[in-house]
Chain A
Amino acid sequence: IAGITQAPTSQILAAGRRMTLRCTQDMRHNAMYWYRQDLGLGLRLIHYSNTAGTTGKGEVPDGYSVSRANTDDFPLTLASAVPSQTSVYFCASSDSASGGIDTQYFGPGTRLTVL
């Protein structure tokens, strides 16, 4: 079982370009999340999805969009990248979002640099 895979591992992107970060889980988890990790700030939630077909905004959603067409995939899109979006991006999933008790499992991350 692979758990959560993310692609690409790293990317350097010119400002203004569009970029999609991919996330796939094979645990049949209902809930999925995207976080960004910045030095000194910990992880901050960008968007989440409680179940296929639904999405919601997290703490720092501006400049990002997500979709959840099926259970396994949760891509994150930067429509027009800016340098402040340089960060490490982590995808996570949990069996259920209900009640907040379930452990979140994290992917290995994507390191994105926007120049």
Chain B
Amino acid sequence: AQSVTQLGSHVSVSEGALVLLRCNYSSSVPPYLFWYVQYPNQGLQLLLKYTSAATLVKGINGFEAEFKKSETSFHLTKPSAHMSDAAEYFCAVTSPGSSNTGKLIFGQGTTLQVKP
């Protein structure tokens, strides 16, 4: 069975500071990994995804994540936080293969607060 753990339900940073949101996964097969962002009262939108190509994945809005198999991690980072980055962030995992029906397993989410 696959699972995702996001360490820290709330993260608070100052504007301009580094953003680090942690995600660890469990999977018996090489996974596909995703980060989604949810702004208040909106649906989720994709930030970036890892699909077994480059281990360092760049996404929208200056975010990136690095797949580390040895650590079973896929942490999300951004060098300099903006006020507009305040949102909830979800890490998700699925398994590749033709039998996969695209079902995503989500972590519990991390709320990012950006202080002026």
A residues bordering B, Cβ < 8 Å? 4, 31, 33, 35, 40-45, 48, 50, 56, 58-59, 90, 92, 94, 96-109
Residues of A within 8 A of B56 (CB): none
B residues bordering A, Cβ < 8 Å? 4, 6, 9, 32, 36, 41-46, 49, 51, 90, 92, 94-98, 100-109
Query: Are B103 and A98 in contact, with the CB atoms below 8 A?
Result: no
Query: Are A100 and B95 in contact, with the CB atoms below 8 A?
Result: yes
Q: With A97-B101, A98-B98, A99-B98 given, is the CB distance from A42 to B106 under 8 Å? A: yes
CA A70 to CA B14, docked complex, whole Å = 48
Residues of B within 8 A of A103 (CB): 46, 49
Residues of A within 8 A of B42 (CB): 108-109
Query: Are A45 and B107 in contact, with the CB atoms below 8 A?
Result: no
The chain B residue sitting closest to A42, CB to CB, is B106
Contact sample, A vs B, 27 pairs, CB 8 Å cutoff: A40-B9, A42-B4, A42-B6, A42-B90, A42-B108, A43-B44, A45-B104, A92-B43, A96-B102, A98-B102, A99-B96, A99-B98, A99-B102, A100-B94, A100-B101, A100-B102, A100-B103, A101-B32, A101-B96, A104-B102, A104-B104, A106-B45, A107-B43, A108-B41, A108-B43, A109-B42, A109-B43
Chain A nearest CB: distance from B73 CB in Å? Answer: 17
CA A44 to CA B107, docked complex, whole Å = 9
Q: With A42-B90, A43-B90 given, is the CB distance from A97 to B102 under 8 Å? A: yes
